[in-house]
């Protein structure tokens, strides 16, 4: 494992950071997928962003549109409805988008065990999330930049200005 805490920040202005070409994906990204026995994601629904140094890709991240089934919730005592729920969900998926990998997000426990009985497998991933949105100043920054009118107020004997 590469120790990346805290993550390094590249200060190089010569870094080329952009969407990778199909040729770059085949040359630099695909070998990593092959080494783990995985296939590249469908390019109709995915792309890769990479950092290019000295003409080669030194880092990349894949962006994929994936079908998430989230969250799976079943009230206690109603586990018997799961087969019907799954069957109808699969019918809807097939009618709308054809065969697709589906990723189910649910807390570990009974629902995970139930889902595995219906062909779902536990993936070896840690799932992280982040809202990607336009940068908005923090409340502190916004308050510190506000122009506050100066007011001359009399101070009591106990108060001092620091």
Confidence of residue 150 (pLDDT cuts 50, 70, 90): low
Provide the pairing of β-strand 102-104 with 67-69: parallel
Mean pLDDT for the stretch of residues 61-84: 85
Rg of the Cα trace of the chain? Answer: 26
| Letter string b/e over residues 38-76, b meaning 16 or more CB atoms within 10 A of that residue's CB | eebbeeeeeebebbbeeeebeebebeeeeeeeeebeeee
Residue in the structure block whose two tokens are 């994936």: 66
Mean pLDDT for the stretch of residues 76-103: 88
Question: Is the backbone of residue 119 left (phi > 0), alpha (psi -120 to 50) or beta?
Answer: left
Confidence of residue 115 (pLDDT cuts 50, 70, 90): confident
pTM, whole model, 2 decimals? Answer: 0.57
């Amino acid at each position: 494992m590469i120790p990346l805490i805290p993550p390094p920040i590249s200060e190089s202005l010569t870094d080329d950071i952009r969407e990778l070409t199909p040729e770059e994906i085949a040359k630099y990204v695909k070998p990593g997928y092959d080494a783990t026995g995985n296939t590249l994601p469908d390019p109709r629904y995915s792309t890769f962003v990479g950092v290019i140094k000295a003409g080669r890709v030194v880092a990349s991240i894949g962006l994929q549109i994936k079908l998430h089934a989230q969250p799976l919730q079943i009230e206690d005592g109603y586990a018997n409805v799961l087969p019907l729920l799954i069957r109808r969900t699969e019918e809807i998926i097939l009618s709308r988008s054809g065969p697709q990998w589906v990723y189910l997000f649910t807390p570990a426990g009974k629902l995970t065990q139930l889902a595995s009985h219906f062909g779902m497998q536990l993936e070896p991933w840690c799932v992280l999330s982040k809202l990607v949105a336009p940068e908005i100043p923090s409340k502190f920054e916004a308050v510190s930049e506000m122009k506050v009118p100066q007011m001359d107020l009399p101070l009591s004997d106990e108060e001092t200005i620091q």
